[in-house]
Amino acid sequence: AQSVTQLDSQVPVFEEAPVELRCNYSSSVSVYLFWYVQYPNQGLQLLLKYLSGSTLVESINGFEAEFNKSQTSFHLRKPSVHISDTAEYFCAVIGGGTSYGKLTFGQGTILTVHP
């Protein structure tokens, strides 16, 4: 079984400041890791994913996340945030041979960007 802990439920930040949203996971098997973003009254959109290879993965809108196997972490970072980044962010994992469709999500981090 897997579990995901997002260490901050809310992160307020000013526009153009850097931000880090923290995610730790627990699993007895190898996992794939994801960050999803949810805007109000919307579904989830995939922001980025780690499957294998380079431990640093990037999204098209400036976010990046680094997979750290020894610390079982997959923190999300952005060097300069915009108002439009205000949303809820979910870290998720999937792993194991019979995990069909079963993403395990963290509790979410609400990122609020202030002008």
Partner 1 sequence: KAGVTQTPRYLIKTRGQQVTLSCSPISGHRSVSWYQQTPGQGLQFLFEYFSETQRNKGNFPGRFSGRQFSNSRSEMNVSTLELGDSALYLCASSLGGPLNTEAFFGQGTRLTVV
Q: What is the CA radius of gyration of the chain?
A: 14
* Binding pattern for the stretch 31-60 against partner 1, x by CB under 8 A and - elsewhere: -x---x----xxxxxx--x-x---------
Q: Minimum Å distance from CB 49 to partner 1?
A: 7
108 binds partner 1 (CB under 8 A): yes
42 phi and psi angles, rounded to 5 deg: -125, 170
- Compute how many residues bind partner 1; rule: CB under 8 A: 26
Minimum CB distance to partner 1 smaller for 7 or for 32: 32
Q: Which one of 67, 74, 104, 109 is in contact with partner 1 (CB under 8 A)?
A: 104
29 binds partner 1 (CB under 8 A): no
Look at phi and psi of residue 5 and say left if phi exceeds 0, alpha if psi is from -120 to 50, else beta.
beta
Tell me the C-alpha distance between 92 and 55, whole Å. 16
Tell me the C-alpha distance between 37 and 44, whole Å. 6
Nearest to 107 by CA among 93, 90, 95: 90
Binding site for partner 1 (CB under 8 A): 32, 36, 41-46, 49, 51, 90, 92, 94-95, 97-108
